[in-house]
Amino acid sequence: MEVSREDISVSTTESKTLSAELADHLCERIRSDRLAPGDRLGTEAELADQFGVSRTVVREAVGSLRGLGVVIGRQGRGLCVAEADNFSNVLRKALVPQVASPQGWRELQQLRAVIEIGSIALAVELITSEEIIRLQTIVSEMKRVMKKMKQDPKGTSKAYKEMDCLFHQTILAASHGNFVKQFHGVLLDYFHAGDLYGQSPTLQGLRQHEWIANAIADRDTDQATRHLTDHLKPQLKAPTQ
């Protein structure tokens, strides 16, 4: 995405500094040009010349983007898009306040449900044959685990939740949205740490997983969305005051 010198100078307002606007332009370039981790954005001098601002402005913009984990400096290459892990680290830090209260936990669970339901149509469209087989294999494993419920309730619950996690991660991975997958992964990490992921193993929950997997295998977006929404409905309820 090409941005002229006028684009950044004329649109500046009192509430937005040049450095903040430059940071926005750089983020937009990363999004619109679909730049990958490690892709080069330029040196401070190159960016100052391209956008018609001082190197001080560039330095301030770059400093804020470094702090957010969006960009990094590479010797001999200048400014580059940060690795994906940095994005995950920023998310983890940003979500820390939410885990301090029961309502915060509930809101994170709602966010997780919204992300999954919002991504299901893309997953149905883009999922590969290998990923469909993986989903069906996970469901088969969940059935096998459930048979041990009476003999080992605690062990069965733990194994089932691990399969549950893999099931939903596979769906998100099938949407091929890297940031979405990372965001979802960060949420699941928090839920596991707080022992709040998923529901207790039930035959109804198992059937819902099977229905979701079958609908996705049939490339039936409407059915997949309906079954996934029913499955995640408990997490969509408003927090109790």
pLDDT digits (tens, 9 = 90+) for 28-41: 888 777 777 888 99
Q: What is the reported pLDDT for 9?
A: 45
pTM (2 decimals)? 0.60
Q: What is the reported pLDDT for 192?
A: 63
- Give the whole-number percent of the chain exceeding pLDDT 70: 77
Contacts of 31 (CB under 8 A, 6+ apart): none
pLDDT tens digits for range 80-101: 888 755 566 666 656 666 666 7
Secondary structure class of 39 (helix, strand, coil): coil
Q: What is the reported pLDDT for 90?
A: 61
Q: Which of 99-103, 175-179, 213-217 shows the highest mean pLDDT?
A: 213-217
The CA distance from 71 to 26, in Å, is 10
Helix H or strand E segment including 32 = helix 18-32
The CA distance from 75 to 86, in Å, is 18
CATH class assigned to 88-236: mainly alpha
* CA 156 vs CA 115, 147, 160, 169: distances in Å: 27, 9, 6, 20
Taken in order 216, 222, 227, 233, is the CA torsion positive or negative? positive
Average pLDDT, the chain: 80
Indicate the fold that domain 5-82 takes in CATH. Arc Repressor Mutant, subunit A (1.10.10)
Q: Where in the chain is the domain with CATH 1.20.120.530?
A: 88-236
Q: Where in the chain is the domain with CATH 1.10.10.10?
A: 5-82
Q: What is the reported pLDDT for 193?
A: 58
Q: What is the reported pLDDT for 124?
A: 96
Give Cα 95 distance to the centre of its chain: 13
Q: What is the reported pLDDT for 102?
A: 75
